Amino acid sequence: MNTADFDLLSGLIRERSGLVLTPDKLYLLESRLTPVARKHGIEGLTELVAALRTRTDETVLLDVVEAMTTNESFFFRDSHMFDTFRDEVLPVLIENRQSTKRLRIWCAAASSGQEPYSIAMILKEMSAKLADWKIEILGTDISLEILERAKSGIYTQFEVQRGVPTNFLLTYFERAEEQWKIIDPILSMVQYRPFNLLDNPSVLGKFDVVFCRNVLIYFDEPTKSRILDDVSRMLAPDGVLLLGGAESVLGLCKAFETSVGQRGIYRLSGGQAAAPDQHPPAKPAGTPLTRPATPPAPPAPAAAPTVTPATKPATTPAAAPAAAPAAKPAVAPPAPGAAGQGATQGATAAPERSPLGGAGLRTTAG
């Protein structure tokens, strides 16, 4: 691929998604976009770029952007964050929301659903305290394809092995032939809709908690700052933002301050969001990467958790690991602090120590 073609492609991808591609990631463009060309009956990458130049078919660009997202995720990723969320963040919010009994949680880069379902399982474990609450968990992502996967709630043995405590596996999943399916009461706690983080999120409403994890690392600094400012405006004054292990607000957004002893968890400085933003008038959520035939998703209804307690023993040994699922080839994660400098999306975090039977996520299922 020549430089002009690379520049056009990386420019379009960045403009549409914020993802930064530098020339050392040329191999990624080639491996991921060849199938896109094939899908559209286009001979090769040169011809694909030519098609993008004339932009007669918008779906080609949508597929290109989608192909360049990497959707690496796993259940209870950075389990200490989920422990803190359950033990320190939620109790305060529950206390503060006694009069409204409402909680809105946004997973801003939900990928294949592991993160929102991890949250749902934690909340389900707290059903006794949340019996008549309205809890809304909204999962959004730029990739329509990955959102369809998330909605299915079906995971391979490898995927559940990577983070799901055994008692949660037995309680909140059921067998689906060779795979595992999230049970309906958990599935129905999460709503999904497409949303591009470059767009004005005000259409989504206010949230008490925002998980925006392992996506900012792939953007340049001005983009990160803008998104963080946007998120600050969507948070309740006592709301909480959770970032990924390699992400921080430092030097990017003054609206947030760190919380002592709570790594990766941020609150609004003095309860104040960033100043009003410069977004163009809001489009309906889902517009930018929604294919023409797909109508915008209706507003997500709030789902109240039911009170079924988890009853399965926590001591069942973990099932044997199976082969990794076929996926887009992952790329090495960007070094901390190197975001926007050649980072492509696709952090392959070293498999975290699973909380299965270990310290990590302490479960209350008994």
Does 77 engage in binding with ligand SAM (CB under 6 A)? yes
In the complex, what is the shortest distance from the CB of residue 14 to ligand SAM, in angstroms, rounded to a whole number? 10
Nearer to ligand SAM, 119 or 304 (CB): 119
Nearer to ligand SAM, 314 or 339 (CB): 339
Number of Cβ within 10 Å of residue 31's Cβ equals: 13
- Residue 161 engages ligand SAM in binding (rule: CB under 6 A): no
CB 223, CB 341: distance < 8 Å: no
Residue 333, interface with ligand SAM (CB under 6 A)? no
Q: What backbone torsions phi and psi does residue 328 show, to the nearest 5 degrees?
A: -60, 140
Q: Is 63 in the site for ligand SAM (CB under 6 A)?
A: no
How many CB atoms are located within 10 Å of the residue 39 CB? 12
Residue 32 binds ligand SAM, judged by CB under 6 A? no
Q: Considering only residues 18, 153, 340, 360, which one is a binding residue for ligand SAM as defined by CB under 6 A?
A: 18
Interface pattern 186-205 for ligand SAM (x via CB under 6 A): ----------xxx-------
**What end-to-end distance do the CA atoms of the chain give, in Å?**
58
Q: What share of the chain is helix, strand, coil (3-state, %, to 5)?
A: 35, 15, 45
Type and span of the H or E element at 208:
strand 207-212
Contact flag: residue 248 with ligand SAM (CB under 6 A): no
Dihedral-angle region of residue 55 (phi above 0 means left; psi in -120 to 50 means alpha; beta otherwise):
left
Q: Within a 10 A sphere around the Cβ of 323, how many other Cβ atoms?
A: 8
What is the amino acid identity at position 194?
P
- Least distance to ligand SAM, CB of residue 53, Å: 23
Closest CA to 56 of 43, 42, 69, 67: 42
Is 69 a binding residue for ligand SAM by CB under 6 A? The answer is: yes
Tell me the window of 107-115, 172-180, 182-190, 257-265 that interacts with ligand SAM (CB under 6 A): 107-115
Residue 120 touches ligand SAM, criterion: CB under 6 A: no
> Which among 14-22, 33-41, 119-127, 251-259 is the span making contact with ligand SAM, rule CB under 6 A?
14-22
| Residues binding ligand SAM (CB under 6 A) | 17-19, 69-73, 77, 109, 111, 115, 141-143, 146, 196-198, 213-215, 244, 345, 347
